[in-house]
Structure 1
Amino acid sequence: MKLLRLATITALSSTILAGGTVSAFAEEAREVTTEGQIQFTPPTEDDGELVVIPPVGPDEGGPDVELEPEVPGTTGPLSIMKAATMNFGSQVISNQDQTYEMIAEMAKLTNPEEEGPTHVPYVSFAQVQDLRGNNEGWDLKVSLSNFESNTQNKILTGAQITLVGSAIRYEGSNQGNAPTAHTAGLTLLPNGAAQSVMKAEKGKGAGASSVVWGNQKDLTDQFESEGFDPEKDVVKNSAIQLFIPGSTAKDAATYTSTLTWELTETPKNEDDDSDADSGDIEDKVLASPQQ
Structure 2
Amino acid sequence: MKLIRLATIAALSTTVLAGGATSVFAQEAREVTTEGQVQFTAPTDEDGELEVIPPLDPEDEESPDVDINPEVPGTTGPLSIMKAATMNFGSQVISNQDQVYNMVAEMQRLANPEEGGPTEVPYVSFAQVQDLRGTNEGWDLQVRLSDFESGTQNNILTGAEISFVDASLRYEGMNQENAPEVHEAGLTLMPNGAARSVMTAAQSKGAGASSVVWGNQADLNAQFADDAIEVVENNAIQLSVPGTTAKDAATYTSTLTWELTSTPGDDA
The bucket for the TM-score relative to the shorter chain is over 0.9
Q: Tell me how far apart the structure 1 counterparts of residues 102 and 76 of structure 2 sit (CA, whole Å).
A: 34
Q: Tell me how far apart the structure 2 counterparts of residues 249 and 101 of structure 1 sit (CA, whole Å).
A: 20
Query: For 1:22-101, what aligned pairs fall within 5 Å after superposition?
Result: 22-26=21-25, 27-61=27-61, 62-101=63-102
The Cα shift of 1:11 comes to 3.1
Q: Tell me how far apart the structure 1 counterparts of residues 161 and 80 of structure 2 sit (CA, whole Å).
A: 27
**Pairing partner for 2:236 from 235, 239, 244:** 239
Residue aligning to 2:224: 223
1:133 matches 2:130: no
2:179, 2:205 within 8 Å by CA — same for their partners in 1? yes
Unmatched tracts of structure 1, length 5 or more = 269-291
Instruction: Report how many residues are paired.
Output: 263
2:140, 2:264 within 8 Å by CA — same for their partners in 1? no
The Cα shift of 1:6 comes to 4.3
1:122 matches 2:123: yes
**Pairing partner for 1:251 from 241, 248, 251:** 248
The Cα shift of 1:200 comes to 0.4
Question: What do the CA deviations read for 1:149-181 (whole angstroms, capped 9, x no partner)?
Answer: 011111111100000110110111101101000
Q: Tell me how far apart the structure 1 counterparts of residues 221 and 154 of structure 2 sit (CA, whole Å).
A: 37
Residue aligning to 1:288: none
Q: Tell me how far apart the structure 2 counterparts of residues 19 and 102 of structure 1 sit (CA, whole Å).
A: 91
Range moving further from structure 2, 2-11 or 50-59:
2-11
Unmatched tracts of structure 2, length 5 or more = none
Write the letter of the residue equivalent to 1:171.
E
Q: Tell me how far apart the structure 1 counterparts of residues 44 and 127 of structure 2 sit (CA, whole Å).
A: 22
1:104, 1:122 within 8 Å by CA — same for their partners in 2? yes
1:146 matches 2:156: no
Q: Tell me how far apart the structure 2 counterparts of residues 138 and 116 of structure 1 sit (CA, whole Å).
A: 41
Write the letter of the residue equivalent to 1:167.
S
Residue aligning to 1:165: 166
SS at match of 2:122: strand
Query: For 1:253-272, what aligned pairs fall within 5 Å after superposition?
Result: 253-266=250-263
The Cα shift of 1:58 comes to 3.0
Q: Tell me how far apart the structure 2 counterparts of residues 140 and 124 of structure 1 sit (CA, whole Å).
A: 15
SS at match of 2:237: strand
Query: CA 1:114–1:228 in 2, change beyond 3 Å: closer, same or farther?
Result: farther
The Cα shift of 1:217 comes to 1.1
Question: What do the CA deviations read for 1:255-275 (whole angstroms, capped 9, x no partner)?
Answer: 01000000001169xxxxxxx
Write the letter of the residue equivalent to 1:40.
F
Range moving further from structure 2, 202-211 or 13-22:
13-22
Q: Tell me how far apart the structure 2 counterparts of residues 53 and 133 of structure 1 sit (CA, whole Å).
A: 19
Question: What do the CA deviations read for 1:200-249 (whole angstroms, capped 9, x no partner)?
Answer: 00000011100000011111111113x246xxx01111110110011111
2:68, 2:109 within 8 Å by CA — same for their partners in 1? yes
The Cα shift of 1:185 comes to 0.4
Q: Tell me how far apart the structure 2 counterparts of residues 176 and 242 of structure 1 sit (CA, whole Å).
A: 34
The Cα shift of 1:254 comes to 0.5
Residue aligning to 1:273: none
Residue aligning to 1:289: none
Indicate the percent of aligned positions where both proteins have the same amino acid: 68
Residue aligning to 2:16: 17
Across the aligned residues of Structure 1 and Structure 2, the Cα RMSD in angstroms comes to 1.6
2:124, 2:215 within 8 Å by CA — same for their partners in 1? yes
SS at match of 1:58: coil
1:57, 1:63 within 8 Å by CA — same for their partners in 2? no
SS at match of 2:211: strand
SS at match of 2:20: helix
Residue aligning to 1:275: none
Write the letter of the residue equivalent to 1:129.
Q
The Cα shift of 1:15 comes to 2.3
The Cα shift of 1:20 comes to 2.4
SS at match of 1:60: coil
